[in-house]
A and B are shown apart, each in its own frame.
Chain A
Amino acid sequence: GQNIDQPTEMTATEGAIVQINCTYQTSGFNGLFWYQQHAGEAPTFLSYNVLDGLEEKGRFSSFLSRSKGYSYLLLKELQMKDSASYLCAVRGGTNAGKSTFGDGTTLTVKP
């Protein structure tokens, strides 16, 4: 099966940088995704990694190490609107198309 771990909560200051880690265990791997979800709203796609390395997209970057089963999402120049839940998801396993989501990390950005 698949197992995903990420911290439950994090707090950071407006303008700062925060790194949200995600570790996973899977029998097969077809990509790792990060989503942002504000309370009461639908998740929105942030990033996709399938090869090792860093993917940068504006203030958001995501890193993947397949050998370590590890990813992180880096948020720079934090804004109050970045307060949300960040979901790490892995696609793969015995059912190649199956997506498994972590429980999410609730990020609170303080002024």
Chain B
Amino acid sequence: DSGVTQTPKHLITATGQRVTLRCSPRSGDLSVYWYQQSLDQGLQFLIQYYNGEERAKGNILERFSAQQFPDLHSELNLSSLELGDSALYFCASSVADYGGGAGEQFFGPGTRLTVL
């Protein structure tokens, strides 16, 4: 158990819908990262927040948005869902936002999103 929690574990929805994935980081970690992992694309970095502020952005679609709240939990919002958005979405947390403290990221169990 990494100490990072994600809900829900599974999510099945239809195209065009909007969903929200939730992540609670390990106690004491200020950085939260979101990743998408699909069979044909590997692990893709989406976005990072540090203490409530956006720190780094990867290949995140405009239909996707995220935020980190004052209690440090984070939400990833996915809208106008398409079939291709079906994937495993991981949240990770780390102590710092750069250096080794950022490298040792602890991953949550993931949310499996299926878009039908």
How many residue pairs at the A-B interface have CB separations less than 8 Å? Answer: 65
Nearest A-chain residue to B31, judged by Cβ: A97
Interface residues on B, range: 20 to 34
Contact yes or no, B104 A97, CB < 8 A:
no
C-alpha gap A102/B105 in the complex (Å): 16
Query: Would you list which residues of chain B between 60 and 91 have a CB under 8 Å from chain A?
Result: 90
Interface residues on A, range: 20 to 34
**Residues on the A chain within 8 Å of B28, using CB:** none
C-alpha gap A104/B35 in the complex (Å): 15
**Residues on the A chain within 8 Å of B109, using CB:** 41-42
C-alpha gap A84/B64 in the complex (Å): 30
**Residues on the B chain within 8 Å of A102, using CB:** 42
**Within the complex, what minimum Cβ distance (angstroms) separates B57 from chain A?**
6
Contact yes or no, A50 B100, CB < 8 A:
yes
B1-14 interface code vs A (CB 8 A; 1 in, 0 out): 01000000000000
Q: Which of B43, B55, B92 has the most CB of A within 10 A?
A: B43
Residues of B within 8 A of A (CB): 2, 33, 42-45, 48, 55-58, 90, 92, 97-100, 102-110
Residues of A within 8 A of B (CB): 30-31, 33, 41-45, 48, 50, 87, 89, 91, 95-104
